[in-house]
Structure 1
Amino acid sequence: MKFNLVYPLLIIIASSSYGILSTIVKVAMNRGYTSAEATASQYAIGFLLALILFIITQRKLPKLNRTGLLFIVLAGVCTGTTGIVYNQSLNYLPASLAVVLLFQFTWIGMFIDCFLRKRLPSRSETISLIFLFIGTILAAGIIDVDLSTIAWQGWAFGLASALSFAIFIQFNSRPVEGVTTISRTLIMSFVALVIISLFSSPEIIWNGQLFGTELLFFGLTLGVFGIILPIVLFSIAAPKVGGGLTSILSAMELPVAIIASVLVLRETLTILQIIGIVLVIVGMVLPTVLAQKKTSV
Structure 2
Amino acid sequence: MKGNKGILFVLLGAGCFGFTPIFAKLGFSFGYSLGQINIVQMIISSFLLWSLTLLKRSSFKGINKKNVPQIMVTGCFIGLTSIFYYGAMQYLPASLAIILMFQFVWIGIILEWIFSKIKPAPITILSIILILVGVFFASNLLNGDIQGLPLKGFLFGILSAFTYAGFIFLSGKVAVNVDPLTRTSLMAIGSTILVLALFMRDIPSILPLEANLLTTALGVSLFGAVLPPLFFAVGAPLVSGGIANILTSIELPVAILSASLILSEEITPLQWLGIAIILAAIALNELGSSLFRVRKQING
Do the two structures share a fold, i.e. TM-score over 0.5?
yes
Alignment of 1:21-32 (within 5 A): 21-32=20-31
| Residue from 211, 214, 222 that aligns with 2:212 | 214
Q: Secondary structure at the match of 1:209?
A: coil
Per the alignment, residue 182 of structure 1 pairs with 181
Question: Structure 1 pair 197/137, CA: closer, same or farther in 2 (3 Å)?
Answer: farther
Per-residue deviation at 1:122?
Answer: 1.7
Structure 2: where are the runs of 5+ without partners?
none
Deviation per residue, 1:32-76 (Å, 9 max, x gap):
444443333322211111011012012774452455334412221
Question: Structure 1 pair 246/77, CA: closer, same or farther in 2 (3 Å)?
Answer: farther
Give the Cα–Cα distance (whole angstroms) in 2 for the partners of residues 111 and 13 of structure 1.
Answer: 28
Q: Secondary structure at the match of 2:118?
A: coil
Give the Cα–Cα distance (whole angstroms) in 2 for the partners of residues 150 and 163 of structure 1.
Answer: 21
Per-residue deviation at 1:163?
Answer: 1.5
Question: Structure 1 pair 143/100, CA: closer, same or farther in 2 (3 Å)?
Answer: farther
Give the Cα–Cα distance (whole angstroms) in 2 for the partners of residues 12 and 287 of structure 1.
Answer: 19
Question: Structure 1 pair 6/126, CA: closer, same or farther in 2 (3 Å)?
Answer: farther
Aligned sequence identity (%): 27
Q: Which amino acid aligns with 2:78?
A: T
Alignment of 1:1-297 (within 5 A): 13-58=12-57, 61-65=60-64, 68-90=67-89, 97-145=96-144, 153-174=152-173, 176=175, 178-200=177-199, 201-203=202-204, 207-209=207-209, 213-233=211-231, 237=236, 251-291=249-289, 295=294
Question: Does the Cα contact within 8 Å between 2:93 and 2:265 map onto a contact in 1?
Answer: no
Give the Cα–Cα distance (whole angstroms) in 2 for the partners of residues 267 and 209 of structure 1.
Answer: 30
Q: Secondary structure at the match of 1:265?
A: coil
Per-residue deviation at 1:175?
Answer: 5.7
Deviates more, 1:245-254 or 1:255-264: 245-254
Per-residue deviation at 1:233?
Answer: 4.7
Q: Which amino acid aligns with 2:203?
A: P
Question: Structure 1 pair 274/219, CA: closer, same or farther in 2 (3 Å)?
Answer: same
Per-residue deviation at 1:84?
Answer: 1.9
Per-residue deviation at 1:184?
Answer: 0.7
Give the Cα–Cα distance (whole angstroms) in 1 for the partners of residues 229 and 277 of structure 2.
Answer: 26
Give the Cα–Cα distance (whole angstroms) in 1 for the partners of residues 68 and 255 of structure 2.
Answer: 32
Normalising by structure 2, what TM-score?
A: 0.78
Q: Secondary structure at the match of 1:194?
A: helix
Give the Cα–Cα distance (whole angstroms) in 1 for the partners of residues 120 and 194 of structure 2.
Answer: 33
Question: Does the Cα contact within 8 Å between 2:101 and 2:157 map onto a contact in 1?
Answer: yes
Q: Which amino acid aligns with 1:113?
A: E
Question: Does the Cα contact within 8 Å between 1:184 and 1:235 map onto a contact in 2?
Answer: no
Deviation per residue, 1:227-268 (Å, 9 max, x gap):
112334556749x967x9987765443322211111212222
Question: Structure 1 pair 109/293, CA: closer, same or farther in 2 (3 Å)?
Answer: closer
Give the Cα–Cα distance (whole angstroms) in 2 for the partners of residues 124 and 12 of structure 1.
Answer: 25
Give the Cα–Cα distance (whole angstroms) in 1 for the partners of residues 193 and 275 of structure 2.
Answer: 35
Normalising by structure 1, what TM-score?
A: 0.79
Figure out how many residues of one structure are paired with residues of the other and give that number: 289
Q: Which amino acid aligns with 1:55?
A: L
Give the Cα–Cα distance (whole angstroms) in 2 for the partners of residues 264 and 89 of structure 1.
Answer: 18
Deviates more, 1:90-99 or 1:76-85: 90-99
Question: Structure 1 pair 250/75, CA: closer, same or farther in 2 (3 Å)?
Answer: farther
Q: Secondary structure at the match of 2:143?
A: coil
Q: Secondary structure at the match of 1:85?
A: helix
Give the Cα–Cα distance (whole angstroms) in 1 for the partners of residues 195 and 183 of structure 2.
Answer: 18
Structure 1: where are the runs of 5+ without partners?
none
Question: Structure 1 pair 128/13, CA: closer, same or farther in 2 (3 Å)?
Answer: farther
Question: Structure 1 pair 153/263, CA: closer, same or farther in 2 (3 Å)?
Answer: closer
